[in-house]
Amino acid sequence: MEITVATNQLTTNETVKNRYSRLDHLWKWRESTGKPTVFEHVHLPDDRQEFLKPTTEMLSRELRDAPDECRGQAIAYFQVGDRAFAEGHYRDAASAYLASGAEASSLSAHLACGVAKIMVSELRAAVELFEAGRVRAQARQVPPFEAAFDINLGQVYSDLGEMERARRALEMALVLSRKMRDVSLEMLSLAQRRLCSFTRGEYGEESNNHCPSAFAHGNAPHYPPSRDPASDESSNAG
């Protein structure tokens, strides 16, 4: 599938904005299916980084009220992006995610495209996508996505040497994850915050205070990273 979408089309194409303006409503995750968010974890083992990327299932839930035609096209482009990403064609993946967002504005497209940009070292482009996505997630009151944007932002800012911004983003992610009682996101926030502290050369009390406290809730993570919530829906249906 040939994709020719300008890199700024995700957020600035006025025609697309006008055509799908009704999609840009306050979308509240807790009012969708009641299922917890399960992001794909993209590991970068060389520097112990771990970025969060949305799944097609999450996009489908996000666009549940979109018109069928644009919803189908957005999901199709997103799936093209996922295949390209899995094959290591990250620039093609980014273009496909942009095309998905052009068909129907979504937080998933912002987040996925930003991760693809990271994989080709386009860190500033990733920051722009994550920052724009975080603002939208906050406006739409979708804290799981807001936390995911913050977690990814913290790591990118750390790579760029902007440690104070990295610290603030990871602090926000931690606050949000604890408010949601999402143990998986909390532990990732804590791990990346501690890594950021070591990068900054903080080996004292502040760094030690970043040890995981998630187990204090007495809860296990909702699902392992590889588990697909769609499987639970099918099993419940039976």
Task: Look at residue 30 and tell me if it is in a domain.
Answer: no
pLDDT at position 146 over 70: yes
Smallest CA-to-CA distance from 101 within 195, 17, 199 is with: 17
The torsion angles phi and psi of 44, rounded to 5 degrees, stand at -115, 90
More confident residue, 27 or 9: 9
Task: Look at residue 42 and tell me if it is in a domain.
Answer: yes
CB 212 within 8 A of CB 191: yes
Two structure tokens written together for 196: 């950021």
Q: What is the pLDDT of residue 195?
A: 84
Number of domains in the chain: 1
Q: What is the mean pLDDT of residues 82-95?
A: 97
Two structure tokens written together for 117: 């940009």
SS3 content of the chain, % helix, strand, coil (to 5): 65, 5, 30
CA distance 16 to 38: 29
DSSP notation for 17-77: HHHTGGGSS---GGGTT-PPP-PEEEEETTTTEEEEE--HHHHHHHTTTS-HHHHHHHHHH
Q: What is the mean pLDDT of residues 86-90?
A: 96
Provide the residue range defining the domain that includes 77: 36-213
Q: What is the pLDDT of residue 210?
A: 45
What is the per-residue pLDDT across 12-53, written as a single tens digit (0 to 9) for each?
444 434 434 433 433 344 344 344 568 999 988 667 789 999
What is the phi-psi region of residue 141: left when phi exceeds 0, alpha when psi lies from -120 to 50, beta otherwise?
left
What is the per-residue pLDDT across 89-127, written as a single tens digit (0 to 9) for each?
999 999 999 999 999 999 999 999 999 999 999 999 999
CATH number of the domain that residue 96 is part of: 1.25.40.10
Going from the C-alpha of 24 to that of each of 5, 9, 32, 72, 192, the distances in angstroms are: 20, 15, 16, 17, 31
Task: Look at residue 144 and tell me if it is in a domain.
Answer: yes
Q: What is the pLDDT of residue 199?
A: 63
- Buried/exposed code over 107-145 (b: 16+ C-beta within 10 A; e: otherwise): bbbbbbbbbbbbbeebbebbbbbbbbbbebbeebebbbb
Task: Look at residue 13 and tell me if it is in a domain.
Answer: no
Task: Look at residue 130 and tell me if it is in a domain.
Answer: yes
pLDDT bin (cut points 50, 70, 90) of residue 81 is: very high
DSSP state of 227: -
Q: What is the pLDDT of residue 26?
A: 31
Task: Look at residue 173 and tell me if it is in a domain.
Answer: yes
What is the per-residue pLDDT across 52-65, written as a single tens digit (0 to 9) for each?
999 999 999 999 99
Encoded amino acid at 94, one letter: A
Task: Look at residue 126 and tell me if it is in a domain.
Answer: yes
Task: Look at residue 226 and tell me if it is in a domain.
Answer: no
Q: What is the pTM of this model?
A: 0.73
CB 79 within 8 A of CB 56: yes
Q: What is the mean pLDDT of residues 75-102?
A: 97
